[in-house]
Structure 1
Amino acid sequence: MSTLVTVDWLVLAPALAPVLGVVLVLVGDAVSPARRGGRWALPVAAVVLVAGAVLALRGSLLDPATPLRTLCLPAPDGACLWTAGPRTSTLQAGVLLAAAAALAVHHDARPRLRDTTVTATLLLAATTGGVAVAAARDLGTWLVALELATVPAVALVVLRGTRAAAHGGLSLLVTSLASFALLVLGAGLWLTATGDAAFSPESVAAAWADPERRAVLVLAVTALVSGVGFKLSLVPFHAWTPQAYATTDLGTTLFLAAASKLSAAAALLVVVEALVGSAGSVVVVLLGLPAAASLLLGTVVALRQDDAVRLLAWSTIAQAGWVVVPLTALSSDGLRASAGYVLTYAAATAVAFGVLARTGARSLAATRGLLRRDPLAGGALALALLVLAGLPPGVVGLVVKVLAVAAPVAEGVWPVAAAAVVAVVLGIAVYLRWVAVLVARPGEGDEPAHEGSRARSTTVVVVLGTAVLLVTSALPHALLGGLG
């Protein structure tokens, strides 16, 4: 009988790809230190991430009943600490591609970067954590990977070197420390309640059946949801988001808004997946209250924003609520709907920030008439906003919203569904207000500093992101079919 943990390197490849990128970037910088700040670090990192995404997509084509597994313990336990089914693999690919998009935006802004090698290394390290947390099925790996996805992002925010960036980074650091404390507490309570260091549905079911252990498990879920809520920008753990987004460069903002949110959502899905079939109404309330609060507060405050980045920051808070809404159903359909929603949101948000980076616009007024002056940028931004609003031709946004509401409705969680319906109406006002600015006739002084001719990598991000939104709007099953 084998006494060794089995390791399948190909299954681990999506997480190992950014690690390889870190090695290549650091070795290259050590060999040619004179080329610090040169052109090679960011493209090499981006290529490695795209390769990792291709490897991750291999798992999205598998039968959900036969996921990719590795780091399996010997019999009789036989538990596997790394499990990547279609949903997990697709989320891993999303994290890797979102990080590659952020690197592309950084590449066009490299004359303003303090150090491209440091930027690439930090982003690759955070991506490693984001990919790993999606597949982690034991408390230790899940906790360490989630923090690895967060701490380098704090450094990325302050790397800009301005006073405002330092304030944004400090806000993110404080919330990150609070989040980590809650996560450690939650992990300890989870282990106490279940007697298992893994996210095992069987252990959860046994703990839930015992009234005394159930109380401890509820406390564990409360702490874990709160800890992940900081990273997902759920209300009331959202305060850092507008500050951090508005004070850092757009490449880092894109990473925080897309890749980091995919990582946080994937971490939350791991926890909720273990609760499906066992947990009751208490957990529904723990998920439903922050979801409803995020939907309503994020959307209402976004209505008042004239700064484009802050509007998207508050939109992120509202969209975090949408990610959690289907999870209140505590069902497999809810897990699938949540994964589909966060992937759609990440693609649309990456396009929106890509357009802002390409045009140099930071306010809504600076995008007035953009659809007339720059049809590529204006059309891509309009489509991204319509996807976020759930309006045609952004059909995929409508589909994922319907699925997100259908999951709690099917389980009778009507208050959360009602809050989602109200948020839909308010959200239409938020995004159509910006679309109206895009199609308006440009006035004198409205045109932003246009950087399109110099932003070739960012233009590729905008074009590919728009293509993804168009394809998934025409064929929603192309996205949802790969989520199990």
Structure 2
Amino acid sequence: MSTLVTFAPLVLAPALAPALGVVLVLVGDALAPRRAGARWPLPVAAVVLVVGAVLAARGSFGVEAEPLRSLCLPAPGGACLWTAGPRTSSLQAGILLAAAAALALLHDGRPRPRDGAVTAALLLAATTGGVAVAAARDLGTWVVALELATVPVVALVALRGSRGAAHAGLSLLVTSLVSFALLVLGVALWLTATGDATFSSATVTTAWADPQRRAVLVLAVTVLVSGVGFKLSLVPFHAWTPQAYAESDLGTALFLAAASKLSALAALLTPVAAFVGAGLDAPAVVTVLAVPAVASLLLGTVVALRQHDPVRLLAWSTIAQAGWVLVPLTALDAAGLRASAAYVLVYAAATTVAFAALGRIGARTGTRTLEGHRGLLRRDPLAAGPLALALLVLAGLPPGVVGLVVKILALGSPVAAGVWPVAVAGILAVVVGIAVYLRWFAVLLSAPTAPEPARPGAGRSTTAVLVLGTTVLALTSALPHLLLGGLG
């Protein structure tokens, strides 16, 4: 009987770290329930995530042609079920760090989580799924890991305890179930078309040569993009996003906006990479990717322009940014894969800074409207300065140069491939997006209208996320090759 012949714990460590963290937190809570208070599991979980990110980052400096592999089946022809090249490793590190930032905001949030062990365990479990799906190359692990990255977040949303949070959690649960059904159907169609239980370029090439199997494969890609589209907040699968963000704690909303989006894109890159590796001319697949990309770009930016709640604005921004990460994939080439990964990493970093700034601003002012941010660059530069930089990165304006760089890379791929409708939609989205973010920036820059009431400041964890996130944005804006060099 065939057995697995390779098991490399260090290669699997980015997923093993948060998985072991779940065990550590739950066992610790069982042995000493409430003895150390409800707050200790959150910093412990954050430390575990940072360790996992360090272990993942070591793969970012390798070569795409020589990825880290584990769980390889016996030769000849044995596939490796876990494959992590530089691009995958960078996305894994991003997922882990975004989850750690979410924990920091949850730790400092008001009200704090009523059960820190449950909150930490749920977030660690979702992170385990996100990291695993990035490297999974077999259909079964890919589906299960992607759903693991989603289901615990449903509970995190509902744990806030309000009626709105319960409704948002129910909406997210229904969305997750529909998404899971589509993903199962998609992998079944993929298996039917290719006869292979892995995402292999070789079997894609063989299936594409047969017209009947090609039709089934195109249908498989359509269903898979739809299933992942729910996780990525692509139009028309986006309806849950604004409510879930607005009704969640800021830490949970950050996890949805950054870690979950990194996980979803990492999942989508796997089947797309199979087509890229096959080197096929596949206009039907381009169309499947282009339609939700264009719809998300245009709808997300236009509706974001009308928002007055900064969290809802960021939610609609997420929808627009989901379109942006699909834009380079429409080229179906290696440069597009790299540009998409670079874009989502920059988006996640900027969004993390924005949410951390909102955490500090909310703690000091008690407000959650754009008007309440008036004059904050003068009143609270430690919060408003990083927020302003994050907005400029999202808009692609100096000094947020890294945002401009990834937008150019994203648009360059469809232009080079001749996918002009997507490129034109991207240019329109850039123009409207500048208006979205400069509107917020102008409020920060304007004169304050009233003195700020005295309130307790933000906690140290939120401040640390602000400082570290701003440092990352500043360094990558000054030296963009630091980011691009880690993507293979």
| TM-score (norm. length: structure 1) | 0.98
Match of 1:72 in 2: 72
Aligned residue among 305, 321, 324 for 1:322: 324
State the distance in 2 between where 1:334 and 1:235 align: 21
State the distance in 1 between where 2:90 and 2:57 align: 6
State the distance in 1 between where 2:146 and 2:93 align: 17
The SS at the match of 1:71 is: strand
State the distance in 2 between where 1:288 and 1:126 align: 29
CA RMSD of aligned residues (A): 1.3
Match of 1:49 in 2: 49
State the distance in 2 between where 1:451 and 1:296 align: 40
State the distance in 2 between where 1:374 and 1:110 align: 19
Deviation at residue 138 of structure 1 after TM alignment: 0.4
Contact 1:36–1:115 under 8 Å retained in 2: no
In 2 relative to 1, CA 415–9 (structure 1 residues): closer, same or farther, beyond 3 Å?
Answer: same
Question: In the alignment, residue 477 of structure 2 is paired with which amino acid?
Answer: S
Contact 1:359–1:448 under 8 Å retained in 2: no
Match of 1:86 in 2: 86
Question: In the alignment, residue 331 of structure 2 is paired with which amino acid?
Answer: A
Which structure 1 residue ranges, 4+ long, deviate > 6 Å from structure 2? none
| TM-score (norm. length: structure 2) | 0.97
1:4-403 to structure 2, matched below 5 A, reads 4-35=4-35, 37-109=37-109, 111-276=111-276, 277-278=279-280, 280-360=282-362, 361-403=367-409
Question: In the alignment, residue 462 of structure 2 is paired with which amino acid?
Answer: T
Question: In the alignment, residue 286 of structure 2 is paired with which amino acid?
Answer: V
- 1:475 has 2:488 as partner: no
Q: Percent identity?
A: 77
Deviation at residue 278 of structure 1 after TM alignment: 2.2
Q: Which moved more, 1:1-10 or 1:110-119?
A: 1-10
1:322-370: per-residue Cα shift (whole Å, max 9, x none)? Answer: 0000000000000000000000000000000001111104210111111
State the distance in 1 between where 2:303 and 2:8 align: 47
Contact 2:106–2:112 under 8 Å retained in 1: no
Contact 2:4–2:71 under 8 Å retained in 1: no
Deviation at residue 3 of structure 1 after TM alignment: 4.2
Deviation at residue 110 of structure 1 after TM alignment: 6.7
Contact 1:359–1:450 under 8 Å retained in 2: no
Alignment length (residue pairs): 482
Deviation at residue 172 of structure 1 after TM alignment: 0.7
The SS at the match of 1:82 is: strand
Match of 1:438 in 2: 444
Contact 2:182–2:227 under 8 Å retained in 1: yes
In 2 relative to 1, CA 389–448 (structure 1 residues): closer, same or farther, beyond 3 Å?
Answer: farther
State the distance in 1 between where 2:391 and 2:454 align: 22
Deviation at residue 34 of structure 1 after TM alignment: 2.8
Aligned residue among 423, 433, 440 for 1:417: 423
State the distance in 2 between where 1:238 and 1:37 align: 38
1:115-174: per-residue Cα shift (whole Å, max 9, x none)? Answer: 111000000000000000000000000000000000000000000111000011111111
Deviation at residue 444 of structure 1 after TM alignment: 1.9
In 2 relative to 1, CA 265–448 (structure 1 residues): closer, same or farther, beyond 3 Å?
Answer: farther
In 2 relative to 1, CA 26–110 (structure 1 residues): closer, same or farther, beyond 3 Å?
Answer: farther
Deviation at residue 209 of structure 1 after TM alignment: 1.0
Contact 2:107–2:113 under 8 Å retained in 1: no
Deviation at residue 36 of structure 1 after TM alignment: 6.8
Question: In the alignment, residue 208 of structure 2 is paired with which amino acid?
Answer: W
Deviation at residue 35 of structure 1 after TM alignment: 2.7
State the distance in 2 between where 1:168 and 1:449 align: 32
1:213-238: per-residue Cα shift (whole Å, max 9, x none)? Answer: 00000110000000000000000000
Deviation at residue 111 of structure 1 after TM alignment: 4.9
Deviation at residue 6 of structure 1 after TM alignment: 1.3
Question: In the alignment, residue 483 of structure 1 is paired with which amino acid?
Answer: L
Contact 2:187–2:224 under 8 Å retained in 1: yes
The SS at the match of 1:69 is: strand
The SS at the match of 1:112 is: coil
Q: Which moved more, 1:4-13 or 1:102-111?
A: 102-111
State the distance in 2 between where 1:235 and 1:448 align: 41
State the distance in 2 between where 1:450 and 1:261 align: 33
Contact 1:358–1:450 under 8 Å retained in 2: no
Question: In the alignment, residue 412 of structure 1 is paired with which amino acid?
Answer: G
The SS at the match of 2:9 is: coil
In 2 relative to 1, CA 186–106 (structure 1 residues): closer, same or farther, beyond 3 Å?
Answer: same
Question: In the alignment, residue 379 of structure 1 is paired with which amino acid?
Answer: G
State the distance in 2 between where 1:435 and 1:4 align: 55
Contact 1:36–1:117 under 8 Å retained in 2: no
State the distance in 2 between where 1:317 and 1:368 align: 26
State the distance in 1 between where 2:248 and 2:186 align: 31
Match of 2:468 in 1: 464
Deviation at residue 114 of structure 1 after TM alignment: 1.8
1:188-207: per-residue Cα shift (whole Å, max 9, x none)? Answer: 00000000000000100111
Contact 2:157–2:252 under 8 Å retained in 1: yes
Gapped regions of structure 1 (runs ≥ 5): none
Gapped regions of structure 2 (runs ≥ 5): none
Deviation at residue 24 of structure 1 after TM alignment: 1.0
The SS at the match of 1:185 is: helix
In 2 relative to 1, CA 201–441 (structure 1 residues): closer, same or farther, beyond 3 Å?
Answer: same
